[in-house]
Structure 1
Amino acid sequence: MDKEILEILKRLESKVNGLEQGQNEINRKLDGVVEQTADLLEFRSDITKKVDGIRDDLSTVELVTAKNYKDIVNLKAVK
């Protein structure tokens, strides 16, 4: 009877060790996911800033273009 209990305990110990190794692997992979997520958030922030800058530049171009059209109309009217 003691041998059977000892065998059962050894199998349980082996399974627990396997679970611990699996948990360590999951933790390692999760660390990688967290790191990649941080990189993606930083990339998103950079892209958002650049897009906002492009929008500002486009607004400026539109204003200058409208002024140029007005000046062209005035010049044509002088003829």
Structure 2
Amino acid sequence: MDKEMLEILKRLETKIDGIETKVNGIETKVNGIETKVDGIETKLNGVVEQTADLLEFRSETSKKINQIKDDVEVIKKDLCFVEEATAKNWRDIANLRAVK
């Protein structure tokens, strides 16, 4: 009976050792996963920061483009005025030459 108990205990000990080995393997894998998750979080934070920078750049660029559009419109109006004034001046010059 004692031999049977010892045999049973040895088998239990062997099984427990196997379970411990598996648990240690699982712990190692979990640690690896945690490391990878930390790396992913770091990369994700970088992406979030870059996205914020890009959104700010986009907003600033959009404002500058709108200002350039406004400036171009003003220049167009000024150029139109200059063309009209130049045409009038050429008419005046032609009239003055005709009077001579």
TM over 0.5: yes
Answer with 1 or 2: which has the greater Rg.
2
Give RMSD over aligned pairs. Answer: 0.8
Q: How does 1:1-79 map to 2 (within 5 A)?
A: 1-79=15-93
Gaps of 5+ in 1: none
Give the CA deviation at 1:76: 1.1
Give the CA deviation at 1:3: 0.7
- TM-score with structure 2 setting the length: 0.76
Tell me how many residue pairs correspond in the alignment.
79
Gaps of 5+ in 2: 1-14, 94-100
Q: Percent identity?
A: 37
* Segments ≥4 residues shifted beyond 6 Å: none
Give the CA deviation at 1:7: 0.3
Q: Which amino acid aligns with 1:17?
A: N
Q: Aligned equivalents of 2:19 and 2:92: distance in 1?
A: 108
- TM-score with structure 1 setting the length: 0.95
